[in-house]
Amino acid sequence: MLADRFDRTVAELADRFDRTVAELQRRITDTRADYAALRSQAGATIEIYYRPGDRMFSFYRLDDTAVLGFYSHARTRAASVPVFVCERPGDLFDFIIEEWQAIIRDSRLA
């Protein structure tokens, strides 16, 4: 059942980004390897998760700073999309933390 949800997610994202499923799967695998290569004993903790379902936006948290980026609904890659940078404390930062917690609950460690 979960495998079906992951397959549907990859197919939806491949269509959105105008890629084949095979190409998107390769890119996901390559990106996972790139992030995993950043791990070091004395460095930051790097965890990689997979979660089925469509994404509405992306975000990144670096200690007390967070970045929120939107996705374009165009069928092609947009040259640029709005990005917001925020810091703790604040409503936008709190929203990002709550979203992160919800995503982790629905994800599996890669």
Digit-coded pLDDT (tens) for 90-99: 999 999 999 9
Q: Max alpha carbon distance in the chain (Å)?
A: 42
Q: With both helix axes pointing from N to C terminus, report the angle between 21-36 and 2-16 in degrees, rounded to the nearest 10.
A: 100
pLDDT (average), residues 69-95: 85
Tokens of 32: 């996972």
Q: Dihedral of the CA atoms 12, 57, 76, 20 (nearest 10)?
A: -30
Average predicted confidence (pLDDT) for the chain: 88
Please state, in angstroms and rounded to a whole number, the distance separating the CA atoms of residues 20 and 10: 10
pLDDT digit string (tens) for 17-43?
Answer: 889 999 999 999 999 999 988 888 888
In the chain, % of residues over pLDDT 70: 94
